[in-house]
Structure 1
Amino acid sequence: MHSLTTSDFTPAESTLQGLVGNTPVLRVSQPFTSTDRGFWAKLEGFNPGGIKDRPALHMVERARSRGELRAGRPVIESTSGTLGLGLALAGMVYGHPVRLVTDPGLEPSMNRLLAAYGATVDMVTEPHPTGGWQEARRERVAELLAQSPGAWCPDQYNNPDNVAAYTPLALELASQLGHIDILVCSVGTGGHSAGVSRVLSQLYPGMRLVGVDTVGSTIFGQPARSRLMRGLGSSIYPRNVAYEHFSEVHWVAPGESVWACRQLAASHYATGGWSVGAVALVAGWLARTNPLSTRIAAIFPDGPQRYLETVYDDQFCSEHRLLDVTPAAEPEVVGRPDEKEVTRWTRCTAVSDPLSPMAETAGVQGSAQ
């Protein structure tokens, strides 16, 4: 009789891909709500690189299956950080060199980490005159693609595979929570808010989707400004944003996010970066102001590790006047996104695509500066 040896044993999900997904949820209450209230946080920071491991693997796999990305050819993309980690992972899994275009706002530790994972980091040095650092990065990607025959760009802002990649996340949430009344998501490329809400709205037809953006972002119709917060917001108009899914949007300022991140760290141990703080602030308010039975799910896209030089660094926060900021108990309210330029936590229940003809006629379109 053959006896099983240690070398014969292969644990389930022992591949690199198997490290991604099935992330836990955590109940969050005080200090954001009273102990009898709260929301459920989906901790995507438990993925090796964060939430964007999911679309990075999926976009690369689908491009390979369609023949758009040939074996061994380069993957070139613009990133503010988290997708870069995911693409570095996908490059290892599928055998592709990865070149990432970043800008000086990327944390030095993240640049070093991306390089350690085998990615080549290409940094732009000047912002685009109207599209800022984001457009400058995209232009550099176009240059690199022209110089690299056979190279492929995921184009995370417009790639429908970015949205489709989040179906497993949605199904995990449904299995973990059983029912969801409100889903709270940060919005950058628009991928996870669109992908998760598409699935959950079919399972729970009455579910509301609440978007969380940063001040200075164009996504929901505000004018583009220089942005300190990374991972959410945009100075362009990503076509993956499912505007029709949102019941409301909240804009959050950097100091307010720092407060929430640090409160999470001190009270729940599980915390993260700019997006996590902004989402927690909004989800806490929703938990305080909706009926006690309302089940709220909030997606925390990453963990705190890459933010030790920013969100969790007193010197950085002091230099940017982010310390000693306590958010208001309630958001300011505007009737439409172009009513005024927002500078602190603000809520709007009129959501539309700034590039739609109706929005342009109404004067909602922001100027991408």
Structure 2
Amino acid sequence: MDPFTELTAGTAASAAVLHPAPPAAAPELLALLGRTPLARIAAPLPHPHPGFWAKLEALGAGGMKARAAVSMLLGARARGELLPGAPVVESTSGTLGLGLAFAGQALGHPVVLVGDAELEPSMRALLTAHGARLELVERPARTGGWQAARIERLHSVLAELPDAYWPDQYNNPDNSAGYAPMAAEIGDALDHLDVLVCSVGTGGHSAGLTGPLRRRWPNLRIIGVDSIGSTIFGQPARTRVMRGLGSSIHPRNVHYEAFDEVHWVGPDEAVDSCRRLARGCFVTGGWSTGAVALVSAWAARTRPGDVVATVFPDGPHRYLGTVFDDDYCHAHGIGVSGPPADRPVEIPHPRAVEATGWTRCRTVLDPAETVLDPAGPEEGSR
């Protein structure tokens, strides 16, 4: 049996699968990390705008999350928490998994990824092709949805692999530290920056970019972009179609004090933006990319003269069966109720009303330090 054979819930695992042999390290791969292009985006989204800059992380080896994955594993090795050749186990909806597969090959660690039944077949195939072993949960938890179910399975895998290391991407400061080189790349490419728009899932890249870029440009405005149905910024957690941003937990990597405002974006708006990007400038991606593109175009349009930049976390290929598939969108009620919102509804406080579409709030709170309404289940996160 291939030691990296995909496993599903209830499948009996052989000793070889439970204790995968470490791959030979390939440190030369680290030279491929980062240095992605910064593209000028001018496609109407949906209105004409002056344009904004987008860091194209899909063009980097291992994707955007490879930066965080390498940083977390190197940090753990330096502290003695990750022994040479020991397994790495993490929960993921796909993107970090790809980054960890890259880091595992580069540094010589087998990688076990706990995903869920919503993980696209193409991403499953890609992760296993790169040598990761998959553990898939089949049902969401009653409280906390897919994310909670993945974490529960993760703990059972850790019990089987006592020498394994769990990066805990949501609460690991090395996650954020991995984006310092990206901040330097953006700073070196631009003479000035007024607004940075960041999607928020684990909080890693927004925290990692904000500090260095604000030291260079102290008046830099930071806009966070979340998914409707996510509880990160104090909204109630609900079942979500969008994967890759948002969460049902409050990651401690999110630096709430850094954000000037937050926007919640729905699947109607994200799909519309992704498709407009694909038709209008050839550069596009998935849910997170569509969401930040929409808000970046809005910022460029409503703040004339300001230089706006964002990060496109991924490309389109993973989403051909979802974002770019008419049957999928129709089955999930996306685009069936008319054109998506072309500007945000503004609310005074995250608890003022539940966001069901593009919504803006200039009051940003840490919900872990605020009494909030109980949250329901959710699905999908990085």
Partner residue of 2:57?
44
Task: Return the letter of the residue paired with 1:235.
Answer: S
* Residue 303 (structure 1) aligned with residue 305 (structure 2): no
Q: CA deviation at 1:34?
A: 6.8
Structure 1 residue 368: Cα displacement: 4.7
The one-character-per-residue Cα deviations of 1:78-121 (angstroms, maximum 9, x if unpaired) are 00100000100111111111000001111111011101111000
Alignment partner of 1:210 out of 223, 226, 246: 223
**Which position in structure 1 is the counterpart of 2:332?**
320
Tell me if 1:261 matches 2:274.
Answer: yes
CA contact (8 A) 2:229 2:237 kept: yes
| 2:116 equivalent in structure 1 | 103
**Structure 2 counterpart of 1:41, which letter?**
A
1:188 to 198, 201, 214: 201
Q: How many residues align?
A: 350
Alpha-carbon contact 2:288-2:312 (below 8 Å) kept: yes
The CA deviation at 1:33 is 7.3
Does the Cα contact within 8 Å between 2:183 and 2:209 map onto a contact in 1?
A: yes
CA distance in 1, matches of 2:139, 2:332: 21
Amino acid at match of 2:375: S
Structure 1 residues 168, 89: closer, same or farther in 2, change over 3 A? same
Distance in 2, matches of 1:314 and 1:367, equals 31
Unaligned runs of 5+ in 1: 1-13
115, 129, 137: which one aligns with 1:124: 137
Q: Name which of 262, 280, 283 aligns with 1:270.
A: 283
* Deviation readout 1:115-143 (Å, 9 max, x if unpaired): 11110000011211111110111111111
Percent pairwise identity = 55
Pairwise CA RMSD of aligned residues? Answer: 1.4
Q: TM-score, normalised by structure 2?
A: 0.89
Residue of structure 2 equivalent to 1:69: 82
CA contact (8 A) 1:103 1:133 kept: yes
Q: What residue in structure 2 maps to residue 329 of structure 1? A: 342
SS in 2 for 1:343: coil
| Contact kept in structure 2, 1:314 and 1:323, CA below 8 Å | no
Return 130-139 or 322-331, whichever deviates more: 322-331
Question: Do the aligned residues in 2 keep the contact of 1:33 with 1:287 (CA within 8 Å)?
Answer: no
- TM-score with structure 1 length normalisation? 0.92
For residues 47 and 279 of structure 1, the distance between their equivalents in structure 2, rounded to whole angstroms, comes to 19
- Corresponding residue number in structure 1 for 2:92: 79
Which deviations, in whole Å up to 9, do the C-alpha atoms of 1:142-200 show, x marking residues without a partner?
Answer: 11111111100010000000011110001100111121100000000000001101111
2:380 is the alignment partner of 1:367:
no
In 2: Cα distance, 1:177 partner to 1:354 partner:
34
What residue in structure 2 maps to residue 139 of structure 1?
152
**1:224 maps to 2:232:** no
Which stretch shows the higher mean deviation, 327-336 or 74-83? 327-336
Kindly state the Cα deviation for residue 210 of structure 1 after the two structures are TM-superposed.
Answer: 0.2
Tell me the SS of whatever aligns to 1:45. Answer: helix
Give the Å deviation of 1:319: 1.1
Name the SS for the 1:286 alignment partner: helix
* C-alpha distance in 2 between matches for 1:255 and 1:35: 19
Partner of 2:166: 153
2:358 maps to 1:350:
no
Determine the C-alpha separation between the residues in 2 that align with 1:36 and 1:309: 29
Structure 2 residues not aligned, in runs of 5+: 1-26, 378-382
